[in-house]
A and B are shown apart, each in its own frame.
Chain A
Amino acid sequence: MKLSNIFKNGIFKENPVLVQLVGLCSVLAVTTTTVNGLSMGLAVTAVLLGSNIVISLMRNIIPDKIRIPAFIVVIATFVTLLEMFLNAYMQSIYNALGIFLPLIVVNCTILARAESFASKNSVVPSMVDGLGMGLGFTFAVTVLGIVREVFGNGTFLGGTDFVINVFGEAYPGAGILVAPAGAFILLGIFIAVFNVVLNKKKKTN
């Protein structure tokens, strides 16, 4: 497979969130604002990239029988590194992501890529795959974050210095979108829309 195809695969055809439906916990939990969604996406991308590189390098050394525990240890190491890094340099993101930062370990996206791609391919394709899947994940969480923040709170980029009040100060906010229920319903609608678009594209080809 061509590298550009592997990359595009992660973002569209096999988007981890919208098509494969894995790693949904963090998708629902941290997308209350644009910034949180984006930082979660980038955090997952970083871990995915690291774990895919290391696992594809070690794929001939790791015995087949204990590969899953071995993958998890690699992933957990990267997550711990990321946690320490964010705690030291980006305290506000560290606090906003909270428990979902250590929980990146059990984000099925990462283990699934290790098992189905990195353990079978050489370093460069694995890197591209990690990047593509990571950005596909980032795309989904960011869009969800934007929708929930703009319509739920009436702000865009809240929590930074560039806050914009999209509907003016008087917007009362649709609280349901920020509440857990809104996350479930919006994600359901988002997946349905994405499916419709993908199917249309397939038919026109």
Chain B
Amino acid sequence: MNLLTILVSTVFVNNYVFARFLGICPFLGVSQKTETATGMGLAVTFVITMASAITYLVYHSILDPLGIGYLQTLTFILIIASLVQFIELVIRKMSPSLYNGMGVFLPLITTNCVVLGVTIINIQDNLTFLDSVINGLGASLGFFLALILLAGVREKLELADVPEALKGVPIALVSAGLMSIAFSGFSGLV
């Protein structure tokens, strides 16, 4: 498959958040402000792209030859957890303000199902090394885009007169639904 096709397809057409429902927890959790959303998006982009590369190598050079493919879930989640730990260390050193902004959600990237989801889909669909990395990059950019868009909408919603029961997450979910309809307009693009 053409690399550009993979990228456009994962960012717009089969957006992992809107079409595959991966990464909903952070999508709702850190989308209140565009600033934290940007930080989270960047961290996730880095983790997913790296994780795609590493899990590919581990699966095809260790798990598969040894015939222990069933350890896939266990191994991948450990790889992702250590990657996240590493990034947490780096961000704490380089930008304490970003670190404070992301707060509890940074360690939670481990349990962000986009990360594990992408790595498993890479193996399932039998992608090559380069395809896997691009698929990871596209998935995380798609996640980034969805996160920033929702954050923008939610900042405006703060000022809107929303019915009491719908305040907070319910109205965010309804907005996400409307965005999902908009994104379905991209289908047929690739």
B34 at the interface (CB under 8 A from A): no
How many residues does chain B have at the interface if contact means C-beta atoms less than 8 Å apart? 44
Assembled-state Cα–Cα distance A179/B173 (Å): 14
Q: Is the CB of A11 closer than 8 A to any CB of chain B?
A: no
In the complex, residue of chain B having the shortest beta-carbon distance to the beta carbon of A80: B73
Query: Which candidate, B59-67, B87-95, B107-115, is the interface stretch facing chain A?
Result: B107-115
Please choose the segment from A49-57, A132-140, A148-156, A184-192 that sits at the chain B interface, where 4 or more of its residues have CB less than 8 A away. Answer: A184-192
Q: Is the CB of B23 within 8 A of A25?
A: yes
The answer to whether A111 and B111 touch across the interface, beta carbons within 8 angstroms, is yes
Is the Cβ of B177 less than 8 Å from the Cβ of A29? Answer: no
A-B contact count (CB 8 A): 119
Cross-chain contact A76 with B73 (CB below 8 angstroms): yes
With an 8 A cutoff between CB atoms, is B13 at the interface? no
B169: contacting residue among A102, A106, A179, A191, CB under 8 A: A191
Main secondary structure of the interface of B (DSSP, over half): helix
CB-CB nearest in chain B for A187: B173
Stretch from A2-10, A65-73, A123-131 at the B interface: A65-73
Given known A84-B70, A103-B117, A179-B184, contact A28–B24 (CB-CB < 8 A)? yes
| Set B22, B165, B171, B181: member contacting A181, Cβ < 8 A | B181
Which residues of chain A have C-beta atoms less than 8 A from B18's C-beta? 180
Query: Which B residues are in CB contact (< 8 Å) with A76?
Result: 73-74, 77
Residues B170 and A192 in contact, CB atoms below 8 Å apart: yes
* Contact assessment for A22 and B73 in the assembled complex, using a CB-CB cutoff below 8 Å: no
The smallest beta-carbon distance between A24 and chain B, in angstroms, is 4
Known contacts A103-B117, A181-B181, A182-B177; decide if A80 and B112 are in contact (CB<8 Å).
Answer: no
| Interface assignment of A178: CB less than 8 Å from any CB of chain B | no
Distance A151 CA – B15 CA, assembled complex (angstroms): 25
13 pairs, CB–CB < 8 Å, chain A vs chain B: A28-B21, A29-B21, A68-B107, A72-B81, A99-B121, A106-B110, A106-B116, A182-B177, A184-B174, A184-B177, A188-B173, A192-B166, A196-B165
Residues of chain B having any CB pair with chain A under 8 Å: 18-25, 28, 70-74, 77-78, 81, 107-108, 110-113, 115-117, 120-121, 124, 163, 165-166, 169-174, 176-178, 180-181, 184
